Amino acid sequence: MTSSHTDCHYCLQSLRGKKYALREENAYCVTCYDSLFANPCEECKQPIECDSKDLAYKGRHWHEGCFKCTKCNRSLVEKPFAAKDELLLCTECYSDEYSSKCFHCQKTIMPGSRKMEFKGSSWHESCFVCQYCRQPLGTKPLITKGNENYCVPCFEKQFAHHCYSCKKVITSGGVTYHDQPWHKECFVCAGCKTQLSGQRFISKDEYPYCVDCFSKLYAKKCAACKKPITALGGAKFVSFEERQWHGECFNCAKCSVSLVGQGFLTRQDDVLCHGCASA
């Protein structure tokens, strides 16, 4: 650049007919400018003179000819590159050394490409899709079965159990009754509709009943105390000629001795031990 300025701002030598460089509106001869302001090259450590192209990246500087891939030595000028531990690498070398492999296709996920991560593995965005509908999962809710990922609607369609009562999907928990899945809140007594999950119940004609409802609706009545005989918990009962007794109620009508496992006689509606019957 031929100067219209008179002297170098630093050494004060005349700039007439000489090249010079401007910095903050001040003119410097080439020698002074290089000694005062030239950035050192990261590669060769020499100053990058004012008549050389200065390539900068994150506060560091290179000569154009020094701006190369650390591994393969190819020029990175006007080419995509990546940095690792302050070293510059072309995308091919970076991928070979550091890039993740896609869990699905096993190909390298190139620098600059969007990478999806899930359960410690990486995918290309285009590979991270629902196994069934093949739509991208992105950040949508998903469910994994084996090593395959599904969007929630497809998983429910393919694998989820549907409640035997309300026919809706059971997303967690549930109860199995007669080999059929039920929501806990749908598994209720056929009589009073009380939830039966975790409670004792009795089956009748494929329907569950709480103990109280079953007793009221179906249980035989004890011939002695007139209360229902449910036989729950291993309770013993006695049956004779279409009549039933609780084990503890099957006693002689006169002396009240237990007749369980003993001989007895009947007289009208009473049962008697042999002693009372012969008296």
**Interior CA angle at 233 toward 227 and 237, to 5°?**
50
| Residues linked to residue 59 through DSSP beta bridges, in sequence order | none
The dotted CATH code for 20-90 is 2.10.110.10
Q: In whole angstroms, what is the distance from residue 37 CA to residue 191 CA?
A: 93
- Smallest Cα–Cα separation from 49: which of 68, 28, 74, 75? 28
Q: Per DSSP, what are the bridge partners of residue 89?
A: 82
Q: What is the mean pLDDT of residues 89-102?
A: 81
In degrees and rounded to multiples of 5, residue 254 shows phi and psi of -100, -55
pLDDT tens-digit readout, 34-49: 888 888 998 999 888 8
Read off the amino acid at residue 51. Answer: D
Q: Give which of 241, 244, 248 is closest to 223, Cα–Cα.
A: 244
Q: What average pLDDT is seen over the chain?
A: 83
Please give the residue that has the higher pLDDT: either 271 or 100: 271
CA 175 to chain CA centroid, Å, is: 23
The pTM of this model reads 0.35
Helix (H/G/I), strand (E/B), else coil: 256: coil
Per-residue pLDDT, 228: 78
In the chain, list all ranges with CATH 2.10.110.10. Answer: 20-90, 97-159, 175-217, 224-278
Confidence of residue 1 (pLDDT cuts 50, 70, 90): very low
**Tell me, what's the pLDDT at 139?**
81
Q: Write the DSSP assignment of 25-50 as a string of letters.
A: TEEEEHHHHHHHHPPBPTTT--B--T
- Please report, for residues 150, 163, 169, the alpha-carbon distance to residue 153 in angstroms, rounded to integers and kept in the order given: 8, 16, 10
**Which architecture does CATH list for 224-278?**
Ribbon (2.10)
Q: Are 164 and 182 in contact (CB under 8 A)?
A: yes
* pLDDT(213) > 70: yes
- CB hemisphere CA count around 70 (13 angstroms): 13
Rg of the chain taking only CA atoms, in angstroms: 46
Architecture of domain 175-217: Ribbon (2.10)
pLDDT band at residue 5, thresholds of 50, 70 and 90? low
Alpha-carbon torsion angle 127, 131, 132, 137, nearest 10: -60
- The residues pairing with 207 across neighbouring beta strands, listed in sequence order, are 204
User: Is domain 97-159 given the CATH code 3.40.50.2300 in the classification?
Assistant: no
Please enumerate in sequence order all residues whose Cβ is within 8 A of that of 219, keeping only pairs 6 or more positions apart, or say none.
228, 229, 230
